[in-house]
Amino acid sequence: MADPIDAADITDDDILWRRIDPGMIDQGPAGVESIQSWAFKDQSKEISVYLARETTQLAVLAAGKPGQILLGITARSIRALGFKVVRDPDPDNAAHCLVLPYPNKPMLKALAVASRRIEAD
């Protein structure tokens, strides 16, 4: 497989959305949310995200399981951790991308810390 190319048309300020189950967010003291590191873990060893400016929340959530929610993370945060944002269009959503390479456990936590829950439209 060729070395994946970081998508130059995705700016550092672009927001990427990831679908997760609500149980992947803990409520801490004073209602402060904490995203668990396994929100970025995937059995297929691919972190799937969607470029927010090219899709809708409804389209991203419709492709997942009922009850899922969205996290948002900037491309800058992903790149600052040493990852690439690689375009991987789905037949149903051209905004689909992958975060590569697949992270180790400390990097899963770093991605979670850099993410925030996205409130529904």
Mean pLDDT over each residue of the chain, to the nearest integer: 94
Tokens of 62: 């419709």
pLDDT computed for residue 63 by the predictor: 94
What would the mean pLDDT of 70-76 be, rounded to a whole number? 98
Domain locations in the chain as residue ranges:
15-118
Quick one: pLDDT band at residue 2, thresholds 50, 70, 90? low
pLDDT computed for residue 98 by the predictor: 97
CA angle 10, 105, 3 (to 5 degrees): 45
Q: Could you tell me if 47 and 102 are in contact, meaning their C-beta atoms sit under 8 angstroms apart?
A: yes
pLDDT computed for residue 101 by the predictor: 95
> Which residue would you say has higher pLDDT here, 2 or 110?
110
pLDDT computed for residue 120 by the predictor: 81
Residue 111: Cβ-neighbour burial (10 angstroms; 0-12, 13-18, 19+)? buried
CATH architecture under which domain 15-118 falls: Alpha-Beta Barrel (3.20)
